[in-house]
Chains A and B, each alone.
Chain A
Amino acid sequence: MTVTTNRHASQREIVPATQSRARVSAIGARAFLLEAPGDFDLVAQRRIWALSQTVKGWPDLAEDIPGMTNLLVIFKETPEDPDAVVVRLLEAWENAQSIDLKGKIIEIPVHYGGEHATDLPALCDLSGLSDREVVRIHHQATYRVFAVGSAPGFGYLHGLDPRIYMPRKTMPSLKMAKGCVTIGGMQTGVAMLTGPNGWNSIGFATLEMFDPNSPTPAMMAPGDTVRFLPARIEL
């Protein structure tokens, strides 16, 4: 089920997100995904953070998961009137004020290149840049944690230079190591678990970023600023 802000009448059809319309779709009976319209940028993400704060006040809400310019909302029970939920979500989106989360600054030392940079050559091929340039462009940027998810403590980082964009792999690496510094589309991040991974590895970081026994298990939180420091470059 999918509706947009101004098309409540035709609720069973997909309308792609455009510059003006948010889109809501269902996952199962209790979860609804709202996707922000428009560009993949900080402006949209700030409104998603605001929407997240709004829905946290809803008594029937079980959980909400901010994603990359989208928000998954999970209700305690299957709603009696799903269409009303969609309208409520879209209204909350329309009313969401932009908020900027005051984050901390996290510096992550990275060993660029070397045995873990399995996808650096392919990235050079795609971008037409040298490995040195790819690495420089990656560590010179400043990133923002848009969302945390996928693996415990994994931060989705926004701020990748489009010159080093690289789509996710069709065939994921089966056993990518925890700590690999990766690029997936216009997103970058650090692998938190060893396992299958469709992103492209260009380096390695040893910083521990998740502790289940800590009151705040994840080091990264939405809004944080991340800088990668080239501790070693091995090309």
Chain B
Amino acid sequence: MIEILESGPFNTVQDLGRPGYRDIGVTASGAMDPLAVRIGNILVGNEENAAVIEVQTFPFRLRFEQRAVFTVTGADGNPDLDGSELFPWCAYAAEAGQVLELKQPPRLARAYIALGGGLDIPVVMGSRSTSLRGGFGGNAGRPLAKGDRIALGQDAEITMLPAAGLAVVEPAAALCDVFPASVDGVLPIRALPAGEHELFAGDGEAFWRQTWRISSRSDRTGYRLSGEPITPTASVEMRSHGVVPGVIQVPPGGEPIVQMSDANTAGGYPKIAGVIECDLWRLGQARIGARLQFVRSTHAEARTVERAVARYVDDIRQTSRMVKRALKAMA
């Protein structure tokens, strides 16, 4: 068991999501930074899709009621255990009674706490993710709150960890070749033109050229962007159609909305572009107030990035397995 000692209003249980039900209007949910979840779970010896805690309002504190392996990924801040600083992206063991605390990370938006054995939470429609809109899944369909206690699943590998922990090079560093860094504080996000792009004529070019700011009216459902409004040359009433995270819709006000993990499953606003799937975690880590620019991409580029990410994740999976095997042999 773990007990939540302190939590902000929007921290939830998430896994890699609940795909497959968009056709009945159920949003896929899932972590805003799925890459951090996969790596966190591999580090603690879980299936990549095990349920973790997504922390996006800080500070956050939990107490271990049993010995458990854990890691904090996603964020660039240093978590601490009973007051001693730990590295993020590194798996440790905690003893019963110890308290893990996460403070506001300096730059990034979301931290993930993966625990050996995963969070033991009922699967609803194929996932343990919290559907805040639907009010089901995760922690009884609601955010975590002080006093919540959550059971952990069986952890077969609890002792298989080097004394100093097991760390990885975080994706932003390991994959800097395929994920270009911010330039002058502006995060590049790759996208492909979508269905109604041409309808924006010159404003379509303005969309790519300008720097957008993530407005305070942004959450797991969508990011609203502030900037010079863009408008289509004709007003169109679109027939409702399926949408996915990453779609950039332009409501009548002219300021785009990027659908995120809790994306609507259908929409009718004109779509100017769609963020490529492999860049969504970077957007998921961008904070309110952050500036970004959309960069025209291609399917080929998306495939190159996806392959690089797959190699990186494979490498971590194999190395961590090797380390644990070696430790087992020495034990």
Contacts and interface: CB of A to CB of B under 8 A. Distances in A.
A29 B25 contact: no
Interface stretch (A119-127, A185-193, A225-233): A185-193
Contacts of A150: 25, 240, 264-267
Most B C-beta atoms less than 10 A away, residue of A35, A65, A187: A65
Given A63-B20, A150-B265, A152-B24, A74 B192 contact: no
A201 interface: no
Contacts of B198: 2, 13-14
B244 interface: yes
B19 interface: yes
B239 A151 contact: no
B240 A68 contact: yes
A128 B193 CA distance: 41
B240 A28 contact: no
A143 interface: no
A33 B239 CA distance: 12
Number of contact residues on B: which range applies?
A: 35 or more
B177 interface: no
A147 interface: yes
A74 B195 contact: no
A79 B276 CA distance: 12
Interface in A176-216: 184-185, 187, 192-193, 195, 210, 212-213
B247 A153 contact: no
A113 interface: no
A22 interface: no
Interface stretch (B6-14, B74-82, B133-141, B314-322): B133-141
Interface in B214-244: 237, 239-244
A13 B276 CA distance: 19
A74 B21 CA distance: 12
Contact of B25 (A12, A23, A192): A192
Contacts of B19: 62-63
Contact of B124 (A14, A170, A210, A212): A212
Nearest to A213: B124
B284 interface: no
B298 to A, nearest CB: 8
Given A149-B25, A167-B237, A28 B244 contact: yes
B135 to A, nearest CB: 8
A152 B25 CA distance: 4
A185 B237 contact: yes
Given A1-B192, A2-B195, A195-B133, A148 B24 contact: yes
A163 B265 CA distance: 29
B252 A72 contact: no
A70 interface: yes
Nearest to A150: B266
A27 B194 contact: yes
Contacts of A130: none
Interface stretch (B50-58, B161-169, B299-307): B299-307
A217 B26 CA distance: 10
Contact of B23 (A1, A29, A63): A63
A168 B239 contact: no
Interface string A7-51: 000001110000000010111111101010000100000000000
A26 B241 contact: no
B196 to A, nearest CB: 7
B22 A63 contact: yes
Interface string B264-304: 11111001001111100000000000000000010100110
Interface string B107-151: 000000000000000001100000101101100000000000000
Nearest to A193: B133
Contacts of B194: 25-27
Contacts of A149: 22-25, 240, 242, 265-266
Contact of A77 (B136, B199, B306): B306
B117 to A, nearest CB: 24
A31 B302 CA distance: 13
B197 interface: yes
Contacts of B247: 27-28
24 contacts: A1-B192, A26-B194, A28-B191, A28-B275, A28-B277, A29-B274, A29-B297, A62-B19, A63-B22, A66-B23, A68-B239, A74-B244, A78-B299, A80-B303, A82-B299, A147-B23, A147-B240, A148-B23, A149-B22, A149-B24, A150-B264, A151-B133, A193-B134, A217-B26
- 7 closest A-B pairs by beta carbon, nearest first, are A65-B242, A72-B242, A149-B266, A67-B241, A25-B195, A29-B302, A28-B274
Given A35-B239, A82-B299, A150-B265, 12 more contacts: A14-B198, A26-B192, A29-B303, A30-B244, A31-B274, A62-B19, A67-B242, A74-B244, A148-B24, A151-B134, A152-B133, A217-B24
Interface of B: 19-26, 124-125, 131, 133-134, 136-137, 191-199, 237, 239-244, 246-247, 252, 264-268, 271, 274-278, 297, 299, 302-303, 306
Interface of A: 1-2, 12-14, 23, 25-31, 33, 35, 40, 62-72, 74, 77-80, 82, 147-154, 156, 167-168, 170, 184-185, 187, 192-193, 195, 210, 212-213, 217-218, 221
